[in-house]
Each structure stands twice: as structure tokens, then as C-alpha cells.
Amino acid sequence: MPHGYTGNILHANLTTGALSVEHPPESFYRQYLGGSAMGVYYVLKQLPRGAGAFAPENVFTVMLSPTTGAAISGQSRATVNARSPLVDGIGDSQMGGFFPAELKFAGFDGVVVTGQAARPVYLWLHDGEYALRDAAHLWGHTTAEVEALLKAELGDDKIEIAQCGPAGEKLTRLASVINMANRAAGRTGLGAVMGSKRLKAIVARGSSKRLSLADPKRLNALAKLGPATLDSNPDMVSLREHGTAGVLSYQNATGTLPAFNYNAGQFAEAEAISGEVMTETILRERDTCYACTVRCKRVVETEWQGRPVERRHGGPEYETLSTFGSYCGVDDLHAVAYVNKLCNEYGLDTIGTGATVAWAMECFTKGLLTEAEVGLPARFGDVAAMVRLTEMIAHREGFGHILAEGSRLAADRLERGHDHLITVKGAEAPAHMPQAKRSLGLIYAVNPFGADHQSSEHDPMIEDGAADLYLNRLKLIGVGHTLAPRSLDADKVAFALKTQHFYSFLDSADLCQFVYGPAWTLYGPEETVKLIKAVTGWEDFTLEELMQVGERRLNLLRAFNAREGLTRADDKLPKKFFKALQGEGPTAKVALSADELRAAQDLYYALSGWDAETGNPTPETLARLGIEWAA
């Protein structure tokens, strides 16, 4: 068994209550590494074709990697996979915090859950032991309440808990998986899969924090290298000082802050919800994940109309400030902090929820929804309406019952509002605008689980004006010369695909994309390879193998979708992205070109070894990656 792994993967059949532990060979770990690639392996192997997201047969996985639990920044991540109830095909989402490291210390590399319990249960994993326990008394409680109840029940304040909140219990398709009551695997609705299985939580505790390492001295040197260079990297300094919220002002200045449900690229009141203002006013602490020195997590304390926001609920990220703020035309930082609390308490994805509220606001503003239907007036800029609609989604109350399906299914049910959607394969778009970041538009379209801003590097990292550090790192993966802004030529497509492979590796290695990456992060490609070697002892591990791990994972995701009937026809962007942006500023009147995107997709499929007509991996490509079985 290579260093870094426990050699144990727990399998739980909730229908029968059977629990068993698999001990995969080293060859399995070397090929799939961990995280998303390993999770999708089990979903593809065990899920019957055509089985629905809420069927007992759905396979729900939580996977770690060899680096999880190592004493270095950016490694305490876990990936959750299953068939998604929100997007077409595969679901995929990552979360940080302390739960991933604790699950490793508890003695497991991952968990595979099938079946459906007759009544609510939770999995209790500790020091290599495992059990299913009754969770009926936890059902209906918010995430913070469950944290308190389980710590009291187990008599241990150091347990870590990954759970579905009340939103997941109610099968809200925007439901996330939450740990620490404020860290989320937010995208693709996988909290609802937990709820459908009546799996309230996975609880982990390991009494020993020792991880088997091939070369502890080399790892320690790497761990010291990152913090030593942090102050010389302006992006990392901003991340430490203001969290992800620090990019909001930049996005607004460059016309790439989605406003009014993606109708404009600037929000006049952006400063009021910016990271700088949050730091100056309601920020109380900079939190972190296990062993990470960056400390990018926000901890705020405030109130909105007498409703408190406590420190235990963390604080809003850039995406949350955007989706509930600029998307909705709302400039009330305290209200956004409050709905962030609601989402963490009830287990809701802030991107999907905020964007769905913004969609409803546009539909109301355009006269497609009435006050009688919604239950209240819901125009852009109405702070109270933004909060109330979020509460209604959390409780599946009134019109919130429809919005809890996500904006695309809500439009289908209402039979209107489709022209105002910003969804790709059912996933609401995050706050990075493909009209200006053209390669991001390509990735939004072809990504197996829809619009996602963490699946490739963003265009400014290689466009005119990019820092030498970023360009030199990108050269290592074959894309290093600067490109023109808003270009989508052959070089930009190659940049998109190669950085997608790198990011895909990161989601298999369960490494934080704010710490490791191909361009702007604390550690670049060379250091990432050294990390894998220092942990596992695989001295022949190369950057080429790193990229192939990422390519393999991407093809597994795509192979699942192909098996379920998805084709190139599903790789499409919403109509709104092809309409000129309104307002003034750098991106006013800018839109994507359908012809340009179509040509970029043709090249992308060719470079990927995917069929030009279906957009799916060819048998030859799957064989080259050693996953011909996935066909």
C-alpha cells in the first residue's frame, strides 16, 4: 500500500444495513488517485443505467486522496459524487474544512453509500471502526443544531460531521452537503441525494493525527516554502486579507460582475457588498481548513432586521455576495450575510439559490410572474424579497416549493421564463462572465456537470498583462505565451483544455484550487508533483502523469453522461449569454458569438479525442487512458 492512503474504503448498503470495507490494490490508487476520479469509478461501476437521482440504487460517494491529512496547506478537501438531481447526468462537488482530514484520521480513504434506509441514520466512523446509528432525533434540525446534538451524544467536541440539512431532507434540488455548519459541497444538489437515502450525516473521528508519509522531510520543506512566498503573490495576499470576496471590486471594475441576473457586467452599488467593506465592518475572524496557512475563510458577525448572524455560520464568499447581491440588485451586506447563514443552516448551495432568486426577480420584473403567484412583490433591488424568497426555498414553502427545484425546472413547471435562465445542463452559472472570459464560456458548455468556474483557469491568467509567474507556470503544461483579451482561437482552446486537465487532477487529488494550480496560486505544477512524490513515494510520478490523471477523470465524468444519453446537443449555453450586456462600462454591449463558440467546441472535441458529432469519448481515447471498461 502506498504512503498517504489507509487502504480502506467503506461500503454501506442502507437498505440492508450491511457495512463492509474494501482494500483496493496499489494499482487502483495509482490509476484513479482519489477524489472525483475514484468517486465516479464507483458510480459508473455500481449505478444501473437509467436509475434516477432519488432512486435507492443511486451511488453516493465521499472520497479523499493520498495528500488528505498531510501537514501542508490546501489538502483537507473531499469530493462528493452521485447522479445529480439538479443537473443532467453526473453530480460532482468539493468541500474543505476539517472533516476531510478527520475522515482520513478515522481510517478511511472514502465511503460508498447505496440503498435507502427505512428511517434516518448516520454513519459513525472512528479509528478504523464503523457503525450505522439511528438519526431520527436529528431529522429536521439545522446543521448547527446537529453539530451540537452529535457532539453531546458522542461525548466528543472534536468529531467532524458532513451532513445534509433540512433542505436535503426535503429533496430540494439545490441542497448541498455541509460540514462545520459553514463549509459546503455546494454544487449539483448532492445534499438531496443524502436526504433521499435518509442518510443524515457521516461522522468521523480519529484519535491519531499521524499520516503515513514517504518523505516527511521533503513534505516539511514544501510546507514551509508556500508561506514564505505568500507575501510576494498579490492574489494570495488578497485571498488572505479579504477571502474570495476580495475579487468583487476587481470584477466590477472590469465589467465582469454579473448584475441583474446576468443582464449587465457592472453593479453601481458594488462597493457596499465588497470584500474590503466586509473586512472593515462585519469581519471578526479569518478561519482556515486543517493545516492551511492561507486562512481565506470569512467569519462575520452582524444582524439583519434583528435576525442574528453568528460566527458559527462563517461568512459570505464572492459567489454568495454576487448571486444574492449583484445578481438580485441588492446592496445590503448584512442581508447577504443573513441569507448566507440561512443557506449554511438549511444546507443550500448559495450559487444555485441566489441565482434562482435572481431569475424569479427578473421574471417578476418582466411581468412573467405575479404577486399572487409568488406571494409577494419580487423586483430587483428588493432586499426583503430576496431574503423572503430564500427562506421560502429553505422551507419549501409556498412559491419556494417551485423554486426549490432550481430555476430550470421551475421554468419548465411554470412553462415560462426560459429566456431568462442562466443554466447549463441545469446548473446555475457562477459569477464569472463567459461573455468576457471566452474560454470560460467554452468550459461552461462542455463541462460534464454544467457551468462551473473551478474547472479550468480563467482567461486573464494568459491574456495580455498576465504576470510572468503565471506565464512561466503555464509553459510547463504547454501554454505559455500571452493571448489577446476576449479571444477564443485555437491557442485559447488549448489553454482551456490543458488547464481543465490540471484542475481535473486537483479534484482527484482533493487539493484546494486556491493553493495549488497551473498559474496564480501558492504552489505551481512543479511543487504539486513534488507533493505527490513526498507523500506517496511514487518517485516516477511526473507532470505528464498528473495531467493524465486529470484527463482520465474528465473522461470518466463524460462517459457517465454518455451512458445516460447526453450528447453534444447538451453542451449548450443559455440564450442570455448571446445577448449584448446592458449598461455602461468595459463589457457594455458585449456578447458571446454562437459561431465562435461552435468552432471552439469542434476544436475542443478534436483535441480531447471525442467524437465530433456526439461530443463523447471515443473507445480509442478511453483505451488510451486505461478505462476502456467505461464505454
Q: What is the largest CA-CA distance in the chain?
A: 66
Helix or strand holding residue 58 (H, E) = none
pLDDT band at 42 (very low <50, low <70, confident <90, very high): very high
Alpha-carbon dihedral 24, 29, 31, 37, rounded to 10 degrees: 100
- Domains, the chain, ordered by start: 9-205 (3.60.9.10), 231-421 (1.10.569.10), 438-630 (1.10.599.10)
Alpha-carbon dihedral 138, 142, 147, 148, rounded to 10 degrees: -80
pLDDT at position 444 over 90:
yes
Q: What is the mean pLDDT of residues 349-375?
A: 98
Q: Which residues contact 569 (CB under 8 A, 6 or more apart)?
A: none
pLDDT band at 571 (very low <50, low <70, confident <90, very high): very high
pLDDT at position 603 over 90:
yes
Bridge partner residues of 80 (DSSP) = 62, 93
Residue indicated by cell numbers 490546501: 74
pLDDT band at 231 (very low <50, low <70, confident <90, very high): confident
Write out the three cell numbers for 60: 453516493
- pLDDT score of 303: 98
Measured CA distances, 546 to 307, 393, 499, 552, 553 (Å): 48, 41, 12, 10, 11
Percent share of the chain, pLDDT over 90: 97
pLDDT at position 209 over 90:
no
pLDDT band at 472 (very low <50, low <70, confident <90, very high): very high
Q: What is the mean pLDDT of residues 519-525?
A: 95
Q: CB 192: neighbour CB atoms within 10 A? A: 30
CA dist 26 and 41 (Å) reads 15
Q: Checking phi first, is residue 388 left (phi over 0); if not, alpha (psi -120 to 50) or beta?
A: alpha
Q: Tell me which residue of 117, 122, 107, 126 sits closest to 204, measured CA to CA.
A: 126
pLDDT at position 175 over 90:
yes
Measured CA distances, 137 to 15, 118, 148, 149, 285 (Å): 20, 14, 13, 9, 33
Task: Look at the chain and count its residues.
Answer: 631
Whole-structure pTM over 0.95, yes or no? yes
CA dist 205 and 325 (Å) reads 38
Judge contact between 255 and 588, C-beta under 8 A.
Answer: yes
Helix or strand holding residue 187 (H, E) = none
- pLDDT score of 227: 87
- pLDDT score of 229: 86
Q: CB 619: neighbour CB atoms within 10 A? A: 11
Q: What is the mean pLDDT of residues 67-83?
A: 98
CA-only gyration radius of the chain, Å: 22
pLDDT band at 235 (very low <50, low <70, confident <90, very high): confident
Range name among 206-210, 352-356, 530-534 with the lowest pLDDT average: 206-210
CA dist 631 and 272 (Å) reads 51
- pLDDT score of 480: 79
Q: Considering Cα of 391, then 396, then 401, then 404, what sign does the dihedral take?
A: positive
The 8-class DSSP code of residue 429 comes to P
The 8-class DSSP code of residue 243 comes to G
| Average pLDDT in the chain | 97
Bridge partner residues of 298 (DSSP) = 286
pLDDT band at 232 (very low <50, low <70, confident <90, very high): confident
Measured CA distances, 565 to 121, 155, 356, 390, 558 (Å): 33, 48, 26, 33, 11
**Phi then psi dihedrals of residue 212, to 5 deg:** -65, 120
Bridge partner residues of 82 (DSSP) = 91
For the stretch 294-299, contacts whose Cβ atoms lie closer than 8 Å and that sit 24 or more positions apart, written own/partner, are 294/73, 294/74, 294/230, 294/236, 294/239, 294/240, 294/514, 294/515, 294/522, 295/240, 296/239, 296/240, 296/243, 296/244, 296/514, 297/182, 297/183, 297/243, 298/243, 298/245
Q: In what order do the strands lie in the sheet with 60-63?
A: 18-22, 9-13, 110-114, 60-63, 78-83, 90-95
Q: What is the pLDDT of residues 120-147, one digit of tens each?
A: 999 999 999 999 999 999 999 999 999 9
Alpha-carbon dihedral 454, 456, 460, 463, rounded to 10 degrees: 180
The amino acid at residue 85 is P
Q: What is the pLDDT of residues 89-106, one digit of tens each?
A: 999 999 999 999 999 999
3-state secondary structure of 88: coil
3-state secondary structure of 516: strand
- pLDDT score of 210: 85
pLDDT at position 1 over 90:
no
CA dist 386 and 183 (Å) reads 22
